[in-house]
Structure formats: C-alpha cells, structure tokens
Amino acid sequence: MAAQSDLWLPLAADAPRRRMVTIGAVVTAGRLVRAACGGVADLVLPPACPVCHARLGSPGGLCTACWQTVRFLERPWCERLGTPLPIDLGPGILSAAAVADPPAFARARSAVSYEGPVPDLVHALKYADRTDLAPMLGAWMARAAHELIADADMLVPVPLHWTRLAGRRFNQAVLLARQVGRLTGLPVASRLLVRTRRTPPQVGLGRDERQRNMRSAFVVPDHRKADVAGRRPVLVDDVLTTGATLEAATRTLLAAGAIAVDVLTLARVVAPR
C-alpha cells in the first residue's frame, strides 16, 4: 500500500499538473469506494485533512490546526467592496477605494481571506478534482452571503470558456453556487451568462491588464435576457483579486436588464493584518 502522502495530492501552487491529475484520480476513486463501502473504506483510505494530511474522524473538513489558520472575514467591512476595515465606524461606511473607484456591482462579500491554507484549497478544487471540498467551501460562502440573499433572485456562476471547461470537466464556480443554492434556497442560473472568448490567464497581470483582458468576454444570450431583466442576481466565483472578471460579468448582466448585481466569492485578496 502506498504511503499516506502518496494518497493525497500535492497542494503547492507549482505542483506539476500531471501528478495532480494522477493523484486526484486516486482520491476520486477513494471517494467512490468510501461511498460504496462506508466504514470499511475508511480503514483503507482514512479521512484526512486536505491541507496537512492529518487524519480526521470524518471526511469533509479540516483538522483543528488548519482550521485555526483560516481567516474568516467579519465586520467591520466596506459596505460596497466587503474589504475588512480596521475600526467600526458604523453601518454604511465605505472604504477609500470604493469612494475613489466605485465598482459596477452593488456589494461584494467573501467568506475568507486568500491566505493560509485557502490558496491550497482553491487550487485543489480547481485543478486536482477535489470536488469533495465544495460542500465545506460552499457552506462558508452561504454564511457570508446572508445579507445578499434577502435581496437576490438567483445565483449566477461566472462561466468558463467551453474549451477550458472541456479540459477541466467542471466549473468550480458552478459547484460552489450549487452548494450555496442548496443551503439558501436560491435557484442557480448556470447558463444565463456565457463566456464568448477564451481569455489569457489573469495570474501575474495588473488591474488595467486584467480589465483589458476581460473586455467583451461575456454575453447574455438573447433568449435568456428576459430571465435577468428586472432581477437582482448574485454573481458567484471562487476568488476576488482585482475584480476585473466580476466587473466585466456585472456590466454584461446590467446591460441585459438586471436592476443590480451583487458578488459572492469564496475568498478575496486583502491586505495583511
């Protein structure tokens, strides 16, 4: 039997894709075996923390040590951008960034800061077939989304271009949106927004470059415009960095008739504490 470290995918950002796919397949097989055989499978492939590989009593979570390093975002925050603020100045407060350069979306909320074990979790979900992480991550998002849900009509996952979807086999934004929808009761409109061109990767690009990269990247098909007209959708994605992708998607939904658009992501890049 392989050592435990060989049963779990490497989570470093620079891990080779081929090794990720191989180990991801092993983990996927393990999940299928566990679903079929219950406790017997846990003896063969015991549940482990997806970050540090410490053994767990049950699958679907983090160990105590890794859990304590997750930075959950809480108030006070900018009411528009959802970025944490150092002091509480009362309800409705806006950050300097929101005042100087207001986004197209009405409000953005994120569950956690993109630091600690979170980049590893996002990378594992997107590139290593760790779709078993979606229920936990989606639950974090649903907790952060409570004030958006009261005004929302639907959840709209940010789409992948069809060529990228074919290579990855799933859209992580759809998986997360479905989990949020299951917990909140909001419908998921996974085909309302379409990505019309395959944009180059955003990693390493500055804000202006990201905005140019995303121009005309999305469209609402004519036969779906009636579904968004007069509605307030919530865009769902995994990470908010500069916001260029979400800005482009928001403007497309507004042009199709949405009265306002909110944004919900699992994580966002924030300044160190």
Residue 145's pLDDT is: 94
Residue 41 pLDDT > 50 = no
Pairing of strands 262-268, 233-240: parallel
pLDDT band at residue 19 using 50, 70 and 90 as cut-offs: very low
Q: Which among 269, 270, 214, 249 has a CA at the least distance from the CA of 105?
A: 249
Greater model confidence, 147 or 35: 147
Q: Which among 188, 213, 207, 62 has a CA at the least distance from the CA of 124?
A: 62
Phi/psi at 179 (nearest 5 deg)? -65, -45
Instruction: Write down the pTM of the prediction.
Output: 0.80
Residue 64 pLDDT > 70 = yes
Rounded to whole angstroms, the Cα distance separating 37 from 34 reads: 5
Least confident residue range of 79-93, 106-120, 172-186 = 79-93
Residue 80's pLDDT is: 96
Residue 242 pLDDT > 60 = yes
Domain ranges across the chain: 4-67, 96-268
Rounded to whole angstroms, the Cα distance separating 9 from 24 reads: 6
Tens-digit pLDDT profile for residues 134-193: 999 999 999 999 999 999 999 999 999 888 888 888 999 999 999 999 999 999 999 999
* Among the four given CATH numbers 3.30.1920, 3.90.550, 3.30.70, 3.40.50, the one describing domain 96-268: 3.40.50
Residue 115's pLDDT is: 96
